[in-house]
Structure 1
């Protein structure tokens, strides 16, 4: 494991000086966020998502050893702020923040297990689609649907497993492109593509693509399906790594089943899946260009501007169709970064006990999401809302900014698809990305509005149709 060292010295909690190790590759900015006679709150941020941290102290420069500050849950931790409660009579105190690499040796994308879930003829698949109310797609051939598990890394860089679905067409006589579909937000860990069912529309997408001459891929993501822990909701790096590694595993299974790959790769997804599609497209082009060549992507109705449009929509004073998304977002970021020591720092006095019960394992995620106010703002501590809303450099907003995907330069063609009548994930998310890409002089970008009246849930099928239309024109 690789270590980086950063030192912050605080003299009588008023004078601070920053020292850096000669081995460090970048500067970690450590600040005193608040201080008084009872406590000192440290805050630090960096642009790297692969480190955990520990805070050490000593009360004299003559002391030989640094000591770890006490913390519930221990160190290291994926946090960016920590408060040291001072005992009466504490004089000078010196602090340092030590960052350590989270990355462990992992055989990322290694295919661990696979099982045949279902085998359907074209007639059976079309009949199931009709019963599911999906009459805009036609199956042209039969399919085999597999559930697989694979090795990847979790939000803290630890080796773990995840699951997903791969659907193969019955015809093996030609080279086939890959089409990876990233699903939308779910709370129930079993409502994922690997649990194929005609009652679960998003588990049908990969089989539809397979029946039309693709190898259909559909990752479950971390924290869902066979993957343990909390799902990292709208977190760029762990979302992208889970999809990248799923694609690797799917390619391995295709080879075992004697399918020939054409080398073409299409990415698409809706809602959270639109976000997952875009961060995966960026991840593949930036970090895996020698392994993957994205042919085209179609992110649909995704929350790309996390720190602005998404959070401001959730914190509005009107009802929101999915109020639990705000809790989901905060808890996911807390799991990744450590936002609070006590839930009452962020959540209201009525809701924070429920959050604490969930975090301590007393209650389930499903029970936490039930019976919520239609206006998500009512779940939060008013002091937190005031501080967050009035401070553009609030630590939580800075973390959200690190996970924005609204400004980047894709190399492969990208078709943004979003209904302008969407109030859950506003159309402005896609408009912002489109405008940025066009300003960079990139012409291989489209913004498609399938409906001016359809809301978020009503726009899934027409959006899928427009994505498949693009891929079909490019797959040969």
Structure 2
């Protein structure tokens, strides 16, 4: 029987042999030349600016990693550093929320929702490391949405690339990593934390975890709430389509789109998730109700998963159940979240409690961002997490 320690050692060996985390290129994207400029950047994205202490310089890193099948590929991400800070910096890894277009990622656009949390952490004095994930940003191929394994490897290898690049900027990254993420990225953050605590990297160790509004129990809480109409209708349609398309690409859960999608969407939905269509394209290219999108079989796959779908969801849903974090952890959420049911957070807290882990839930309240409490939770939680991580760094 392979022990966790042996498995971690084997994973380290595989990563070293494959060159995972090797820096391919680094490009300076922009400089926020004063704390005031960094604050303005955050305000433009709708985020608070009261934790800003430093100017910020942002880079795009491209690095070697592996795809969802373990084959060599490349990925990109945002690396944001505080200017005029000390030589030694603590890394904060931020995993972003759902995007379908390649530009829906931290390194592709500035002053926007996906990049703002990284800028906030850097402006507070941390080295912010924000992977774009596979297939987004400058990464080739399609994005394997909600695939925890590849989100974890992309995040860990981005940390390695950032550590390799940091000395070129006059910095060294400390061993302890503070890990956070929003929505899709909340599960990714837990996956990264699990890998770090398992010793899958020779240098980095987990310092703390702060996931926000995650679908931690994707099969047991999120999909039932979506199918039963307990979440906002239009985002539910898009998430249902994304789930079936993305999971089918990796796990082969249907043979033909017409098995799960109603006419005329059976001929168009898969192409909408090609990395070239925007969120607006997805909203306009899908119906307003699940009844118009899904066949009876498609709905059943989400409501009562079997076979390959059930097996895939068991892996996705293990982020809170198959390990025991030793580092401090807080679970952030928003009252009335209309996209990620708060049952996810409660199920995660309870699963961790059964293992003896105290994971307090921090409810940021009824917050809105562009009329969305789900998005608002990222805005409000970012400020709270920047403050908490700052307190941890000062200890």
TM-score, normalised to structure 2's length?
A: 0.86
| Aligned residue number for residue 43 of structure 2 | 130
Structure having the higher strand fraction is 1
Give structure 1 stretches of 5+ with no counterpart: 1-24, 27-101
| Aligned residue number for residue 353 of structure 1 | 267
Q: How many residues align?
A: 372
Provide the C-alpha distance between the structure 1 equivalents of 2:153 and 2:243, rounded to a whole number of angstroms: 19
Greater shift, 287-296 or 326-335, is seen at 287-296
Given the alignment, which residue of 439, 442, 445 partners 2:354? 439
| Aligned residue number for residue 7 of structure 2 | none
1:373 Cα deviation from its structure 2 partner: 2.2
1:240-293 Cα shifts (integer Å, max 9, x gaps): 100000010011111222203332210111111111111111122225164321
Structure having the higher helix fraction is 2
Matched, 1:164 2:82: no
1:413 Cα deviation from its structure 2 partner: 1.1
1:331-362 Cα shifts (integer Å, max 9, x gaps): 11111112222111222233211146569x8x
| Aligned residue number for residue 325 of structure 1 | 239
Residue pairs, 1:351-390, within 5 angstroms: 351-355=265-269, 365-366=277-278, 367=281, 370-386=284-300, 389=303
Provide the C-alpha distance between the structure 1 equivalents of 2:302 and 2:340, rounded to a whole number of angstroms: 21
| Aligned residue number for residue 220 of structure 1 | 132
Matched, 1:468 2:381: no
Given the alignment, which residue of 107, 119, 138 partners 1:194? 107
1:394 Cα deviation from its structure 2 partner: 4.1
Give structure 2 stretches of 5+ with no counterpart: 3-13
CA 265–371 in structure 1, closer or farther in 2 if over 3 Å, else same: same
Provide the C-alpha distance between the structure 2 equivalents of 1:131 and 1:388, rounded to a whole number of angstroms: 38
CA 218–137 in structure 1, closer or farther in 2 if over 3 Å, else same: farther
Alpha-carbon contact 2:64-2:75 (below 8 Å) kept: yes
Greater shift, 210-219 or 342-351, is seen at 342-351
Alpha-carbon contact 1:230-1:335 (below 8 Å) kept: no
Alpha-carbon contact 1:104-1:158 (below 8 Å) kept: no
Alpha-carbon contact 2:245-2:270 (below 8 Å) kept: no
Residue pairs, 1:142-153, within 5 angstroms: 142-153=55-66
Provide the C-alpha distance between the structure 2 equivalents of 1:242 and 1:150, rounded to a whole number of angstroms: 9
Matched, 1:141 2:54: yes
1:180-235 Cα shifts (integer Å, max 9, x gaps): 1111111221131112422x132122222122211111111111010122211111
1:142 Cα deviation from its structure 2 partner: 1.4
| Aligned residue number for residue 316 of structure 1 | 228
Given the alignment, which residue of 368, 376, 381 partners 1:458? 376
Given the alignment, which residue of 234, 247, 251 partners 2:159? 247
Alpha-carbon contact 2:43-2:49 (below 8 Å) kept: no
| Aligned residue number for residue 294 of structure 1 | 206
1:128 Cα deviation from its structure 2 partner: 2.9
Given the alignment, which residue of 246, 257, 264 partners 2:176? 264
Provide the C-alpha distance between the structure 2 equivalents of 1:135 and 1:438, rounded to a whole number of angstroms: 32
Alpha-carbon contact 1:152-1:160 (below 8 Å) kept: yes
Alpha-carbon contact 1:349-1:381 (below 8 Å) kept: no
Secondary structure in 1 aligned to 2:198?
helix
Given the alignment, which residue of 119, 127, 145 partners 1:233? 145
Residue pairs, 1:37-76, within 5 angstroms: none
CA 429–386 in structure 1, closer or farther in 2 if over 3 Å, else same: closer
Provide the C-alpha distance between the structure 1 equivalents of 2:344 and 2:316, rounded to a whole number of angstroms: 14
| Aligned residue number for residue 342 of structure 2 | 427
CA 399–348 in structure 1, closer or farther in 2 if over 3 Å, else same: same
Matched, 1:401 2:314: yes
1:392 Cα deviation from its structure 2 partner: 5.8
Alpha-carbon contact 1:315-1:377 (below 8 Å) kept: no
Secondary structure in 2 aligned to 1:139?
coil
Matched, 1:341 2:255: yes
1:303 Cα deviation from its structure 2 partner: 0.4
Provide the C-alpha distance between the structure 2 equivalents of 1:450 and 1:388, rounded to a whole number of angstroms: 29
1:453 Cα deviation from its structure 2 partner: 6.2
Greater shift, 277-286 or 450-459, is seen at 450-459
CA-atom RMSD in angstroms: 2.6
Provide the C-alpha distance between the structure 2 equivalents of 1:451 and 1:129, rounded to a whole number of angstroms: 21
CA 196–393 in structure 1, closer or farther in 2 if over 3 Å, else same: closer
| Aligned residue number for residue 413 of structure 1 | 328
Provide the C-alpha distance between the structure 1 equivalents of 2:140 and 2:364, rounded to a whole number of angstroms: 37
